[in-house]
Structures are given as C-alpha cells and as structure tokens.
Amino acid sequence: MKHQALFEIIENRPLTGEDFLMKLRPQEVGATDAGTMRNQTLQGNHVEQHQISNNTDLLEELLPGQFVQVLIPHSSDTFLRRPISICDVDLQYRLLYLYIKKVGKGTAELRKCQRGEKLDILLPLGNGFKYEQSRRPLLLGGGVGIAPMVYLSKKIAENGIRPTVLLAGKTAENLTVRSLFDTEKCDLQLCTDDGSLGEKGMITQHSLMQKPTDYDTVFCCGPTPMMKAVARMMEATGIPCHVSLENHMACGVGACLCCVTPTKAHGNQCVCTEGPVFDSKELAW
C-alpha cells in the first residue's frame, strides 16, 4: 500500500556544492482524514489510489532501494513530485533521511526548506534490493547513488553480515556523505578521480574490483556509465549484480511511461514500478 503522509523537516543540512541532507519525521494527520483513500487521475483513465496515513510507524515498511515522491512546496510551476532515493531510516527516533543533489527547480526549492516545514510525501515506491541471501556482499555507490547504500548497509549488518562498501566521487568533497556509514558494521572503502581521498581512479579501477570473486553479490547505484561498466565486469565473472536505475520520473507509479528502460525478456519496463532495482543481466543497455 502506498501512503500519502506529511513529514516535518527536522534538519535540512547543506553538505558540499549542491548536495544536502534532509532529516524528516512523519506527522499525524487529522482523525477525519486518517485511513481514507484518495484517488488521483494521472493520465487518461488511469487513477492511482493511495491511503492518507496516520500511522507514524509507516517507516517500518520502507526497504533499501525504494524511493519516495516529494511534493514541492512554495512553487506553482513545479507541480510534479520529485523522486528521491531512501537514504536511511532510523526507527528508534522515527526519522527518514534523504540525500539530495540540487539539479533543477524542484530540488532547488527543497534546498531552501527550513526546519519545521512540512512536506507531502508519497511512499514507499518501487522494489528494493534483494539482499537477504548474500553472505559476501559488495556495495558500490557513486555520486548521489551513494544514498541507497546507507540503508542497505545497515539492513545487511542487521543480518549479522559485515558488508564491504566502496564509494566513489570526483573529489573528497563529494564524499562527505560517508559519515552516515557505521564503519564498525561495514568495511568502508573510498576512491576519488583526483586521489584526494582513498585510491585514485574510477570505481572500476579500485583494487577491490580486481578480485570480484571475493564477493557473492554486487549491489550498485550511480551514474549510468559507472553501472554499465560494473555490470560488464560482474557478468564476465558470473557474479550477480543488482543495479538501481536513476531514470527521469514524473508520476512514480507507472502511468506516464517517461522512465521506461529496455529489458531483454520483457520489452520496455517502468523503472518506477518494476525497479528501480534490476538484475543487470535483465537490462538491454
């Protein structure tokens, strides 16, 4: 079930450059609205139905690799919700973390939001990572694709597995989000294009990638060229590789078809509903 819920901004912290980190807490809605169903006409006769939620425990439903759709406040010309990856979930303090890069009007407005403001969010959306059977996982994140690796790393650690996490950025400044990883519960490795932090070079050139058979599954999110290169490496060695695509989205529920990606067996599929996580071998890219 998809929920429409109000979240209060607890913190909206600039990181570096255009990146920022939002910390949000779900809010209760009025008793007359809670639990009611809302219909939204999206395209032609397609109607999306979701529940107005009064359940502040809805964070428990979120899975690593899923995303949310955020309604942009204070703006009359950004009427489409913006898709944002789930970065982390803190069930103890009922917090949702979103790691966002300012790339256009919508995210620029989000960057301006202040503590105490409310955001209208639709969640959870998409399919997450299937990590439960992996015993030697390797997590790869580049750019804002680092975001879903935070919660994935945490959930794998809860299963008694210490994952290896490799993050890539252009410079050290692009990897400030590394502070969100618990290094006691994961083996955190870094690389940068300019060598300012960790090993110098692209993620596929890192020493860890020279022995991919040390791992039984790879989970990857980042720029498309990076994911394609990683997928080719893993497919050549027979290591399962799951990639989280970051296609442009509008509705987030499979109606507008603007996020479709070609697959080998099933033709074009909506990334928002069939993904965003895919087995790399399924993709015709």
Q: What is the pLDDT of residues 243-259, one digit of tens each?
A: 999 999 999 999 999 99
Return the ∠ at Cα 80 (arms to 74 and 269), rounded to 5°: 155
- Please state the rounded mean pLDDT for residues 121-132: 97
Position 29 confidence tier, pLDDT thresholds 50, 70, 90: low
What pLDDT does residue 43 have?
Answer: 43
Distance CA 246, CA 84 (A): 9
What is the tens place of the pLDDT at every residue in 148-165? 999 999 999 999 999 999
- Determine phi and psi for 33, rounding to 5 degrees: -95, -30
Residue 47 has pLDDT above 50, yes or no: no
Residue 138 in tokens: 């390797």
What pLDDT does residue 240 have?
Answer: 98
Question: What is the overall mean pLDDT for the chain?
Answer: 91
38 or 90: which leads in pLDDT: 90
Residue 13 has pLDDT above 70, yes or no: yes
What pLDDT does residue 274 have?
Answer: 97
What pLDDT does residue 52 have?
Answer: 57
What is the tens place of the pLDDT at every residue in 48-77? 545 555 555 799 999 999 999 999 998 888
Return the ∠ at Cα 19 (arms to 15 and 24), rounded to 5°: 80
What pLDDT does residue 53 have?
Answer: 54
Position 40 confidence tier, pLDDT thresholds 50, 70, 90: very low
Distance CA 2, CA 8 (A): 19
Sheet hosting strand 164-169, strand order edge to edge: 199-200, 187-192, 164-169, 137-142, 217-221, 241-244, 277-279
Residue 9 has pLDDT above 90, yes or no: yes
Give the domains, in start order, of the chain with CATH numbers: 3-125 (2.40.30.10), 137-282 (3.40.50.80)
- Please state the rounded mean pLDDT for residues 93-100: 97
Residue 39 has pLDDT above 80, yes or no: no
